[in-house]
C-alpha cells in the first residue's frame, strides 16, 4: 500500500466545518449567478424568455438571455473558479501567500497570443480567433514549463522560469502595442487586456469549459499532496508523495484552467491572490481544504465584480479587471506590510 494512502489526519485546527463553508459559498454563487442573469443594460422579460425557450421561438427575450446574459454569467463563474482555485494551489505548492496564477507565465502568454490575433488581423476574420490565439499562447508557455519540469528542476527554479516567461510575454505585448498598425487596433488591444466578460457568446463558453474542467480536476487531485507539503518536502516524500508529480499536476492544471480563462476574458488580476488569503483562516490554514472553497469564492468575486460594472452607469462599460485591481492592489500592499511586521 502506498504510504500516501495512510497519511495521518491533520491535527485539529480552528476554522469552519468544510461542508458548512462549501454550502454557504455554493449558495452565494447561485444567488450571484441569478442576479447576473437579471442585471444588464437591455431589460429582460423573464416570462417571455421562458415561453420562447419552451416553445423554440426566437424572440428578443430569448436572444437577450442566450446571447448576452447566460454566456456572461457562466464565464464569470468559470473564470472566477479557475483563478481562485489555482491561486490557492500555487500558494500551497510554493508555501508563499504572495503567489498568484500569473506567476507561472501562463496569463501573460495567453494575453500575448490574443494580442497576436489582434495584431495580425485574425480577430477581424472570425470571432473565435481571439480566444484561440490566447489558448495557443498559453499552450506554448505550458509546453516550456512541462519540458523544464520533466528535467526535474526544483519548484523555485520552475517558478523563476515562469516569471521569465511572463516578463518576455509582457515585453512582446508592449512591442505589439508599439508597432500596432492603427490607433484603433491599439485601443482594442488595451481594452481587451483590461479584462471583461462583455460581448461573449456560448461559443466562448464551449471553448473554455473543457480546459477549465480538466485543469480544475488536475489541481484538485493534489489536495493530499499539498497537505503533506505543509510538513516539509522531506516528510512529504517519506510519506510516499512524489514532489515531481505534485508540481506537474499543479503547473499543468493551472496552465489549462488559467490559460482558457484569460483566453476568453482577458487579464483579470488579483483574484487568485486575494481570495485564498481571505479564506485561509476559515479552513484552519490547511491548503488541501482551501482549494475548493477558494474556487467557489473566486467565482463569487468575479460574478459580483461583473454585476458591479454593469450597475455603474459609464460608457464604455468599466472593465472588470479594473475593478478587481482596485480591490486587489490595496489588499496586496496591506498583505506585504503585515508579512513584514510578522518577520520583524
Domain with residue 237: its CATH number is: 1.10.3470.10
Q: How many domains does the chain have?
A: 1
**Highest-confidence range of 7-21, 37-51, 159-173, 288-302, by mean pLDDT?**
288-302
In the predicted model, is pLDDT for residue 18 greater than 50? yes
The whole-number pLDDT of residue 8 equals 42
In the predicted model, is pLDDT for residue 116 greater than 70? yes
Which residue did the predictor score with more confidence, 11 or 150?
Answer: 150
Q: Is 97 inside any structural domain?
A: yes
Q: Is 174 inside any structural domain?
A: yes
Q: What is the mean pLDDT of the chain?
A: 86
Range of the domain at 158: 69-343
Residue 13 pLDDT class (50, 70, 90 cuts): low
C-alpha count within 13 angstroms, C-beta hemisphere, residue 88: 34
Cβ neighbors of 39 (< 8 A, separation 6 or more) are 307, 310, 311
Q: Is 44 inside any structural domain?
A: no
Tell me how far apart the alpha carbons of residues 3 and 222 are, in angstroms, rounded to a whole number: 15
Tell me how far apart the alpha carbons of residues 228 and 4 are, in angstroms, rounded to a whole number: 9
Write out pLDDT tens, residues 67-112.
999 999 999 999 999 999 999 999 998 887 878 888 888 888 988 9
Tell me how far apart the alpha carbons of residues 311 and 43 are, in angstroms, rounded to a whole number: 13
Q: Is 209 inside any structural domain?
A: yes
Q: Is 294 inside any structural domain?
A: yes
In the predicted model, is pLDDT for residue 288 greater than 90? yes
Could you tell me if 69 and 40 are in contact, meaning their C-beta atoms sit under 8 angstroms apart? yes
DSSP state of 27: H
In the predicted model, is pLDDT for residue 267 greater than 80? yes
Write out pLDDT tens, residues 177-187.
888 777 777 77
CA distances from 230 to 91, 96, 251, 252, 291 (A): 11, 11, 18, 21, 14
* Number of neighbouring beta carbons within 10 Å of residue 307: 18
**Highest-confidence range of 31-35, 185-189, 228-232, 335-339, by mean pLDDT?**
31-35
Tell me how far apart the alpha carbons of residues 256 and 331 are, in angstroms, rounded to a whole number: 27
**Highest-confidence range of 24-33, 255-264, 266-275, by mean pLDDT?**
24-33
Cβ neighbors of 117 (< 8 A, separation 6 or more) are 123, 129, 130, 132, 133, 134
Q: Is 240 inside any structural domain?
A: yes
pTM for the whole structure: 0.89
Residue 244 pLDDT class (50, 70, 90 cuts): confident
DSSP state of 102: G
The rounded percent of the chain whose pLDDT value lies above 70 is 95
Q: What cell was used for 328? A: 486587489
Residue 295 pLDDT class (50, 70, 90 cuts): very high
Residue 79: alpha-carbon gap to chain centroid: 5
Q: Is 21 inside any structural domain?
A: no
| Low-confidence winner among 16-30, 264-278, 294-308 (lowest mean pLDDT) | 264-278
* Number of neighbouring beta carbons within 10 Å of residue 14: 9
Residue 10 pLDDT class (50, 70, 90 cuts): very low
Amino acid at each position: 500500500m502506498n504510504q500516501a494512502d495512510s497519511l495521518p489526519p491533520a491535527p485539529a485546527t480552528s476554522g469552519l466545518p468544510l461542508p458548512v463553508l462549501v454550502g454557504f459559498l455554493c449558495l452565494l454563487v447561485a444567488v450571484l449567478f441569478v442576479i447576473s442573469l437579471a442585471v444588464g443594460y437591455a431589460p429582460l422579460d423573464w416570462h417571455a424568455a421562458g415561453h420562447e425557450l419552451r416553445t423554440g421561438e426566437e424572440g428578443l427575450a430569448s436572444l437577450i438571455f442566450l446571447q448576452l446574459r447566460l454566456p456572461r454569467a457562466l464565464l464569470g463563474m468559470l473564470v472566477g473558479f479557475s483563478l481562485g482555485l489555482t491561486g490557492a494551489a500555487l500558494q500551497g505548492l510554493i508555501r508563499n501567500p504572495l503567489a498568484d496564477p500569473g506567476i507561472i507565465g501562463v496569463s501573460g502568454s495567453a494575453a500575448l497570443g490574443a494580442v497576436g490575433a489582434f495584431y495580425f488581423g485574425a480577430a477581424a476574420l472570425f470571432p473565435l480567433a481571439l480566444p484561440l490565439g490566447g489558448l495557443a499562447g498559453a499552450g506554448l508557455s505550458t509546453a516550456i514549463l512541462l519540458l523544464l519540469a520533466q528535467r526535474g528542476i526544483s519548484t523555485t527554479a520552475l517558478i523563476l522560469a515562469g516569471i521569465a516567461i511572463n516578463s518576455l510575454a509582457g515585453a512582446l505585448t508592449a512591442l505589439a502595442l508599439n508597432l500596432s498598425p492603427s490607433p484603433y487596433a491599439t485601443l482594442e488591444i488595451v481594452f481587451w487586456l483590461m479584462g471583461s466578460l462583455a460581448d461573449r457568446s456560448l461559443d466562448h463558453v464551449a471553448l473554455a469549459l473543457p480546459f477549465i474542467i480538466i485543469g480544475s480536476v488536475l489541481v484538485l487531485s493534489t489536495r493530499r499532496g499539498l497537505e503533506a507539503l505543509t510538513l516539509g518536502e522531506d516528510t512529504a516524500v517519506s510519506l510516499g508523495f512524489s514532489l515531481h508529480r505534485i508540481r506537474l499536476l499543479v503547473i499543468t492544471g493551472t496552465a489549462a484552467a488559467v490559460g482558457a480563462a484569460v483566453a476568453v476574458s482577458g487579464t483579470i488580476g488579483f483574484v487568485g491572490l486575494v481570495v485564498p488569503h481571505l479564506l485561509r483562516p476559515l479552513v484552519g490554514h490547511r491548503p488541501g481544504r482551501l482549494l475548493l472553497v477558494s474556487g467557489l469564492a473566486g467565482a463569487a468575486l468575479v460574478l459580483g465584480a461583473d454585476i458591479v460594472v454593469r450597475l455603474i452607469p459609464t460608457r464604455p462599460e468599466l472593465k472588470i479587471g479594473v475593478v478587481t485591481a482596485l480591490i486587489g492592489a490595496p489588499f496586496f500592499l496591506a498583505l506585504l506590510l503585515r508579512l513584514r511586521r510578522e518577520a520583524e
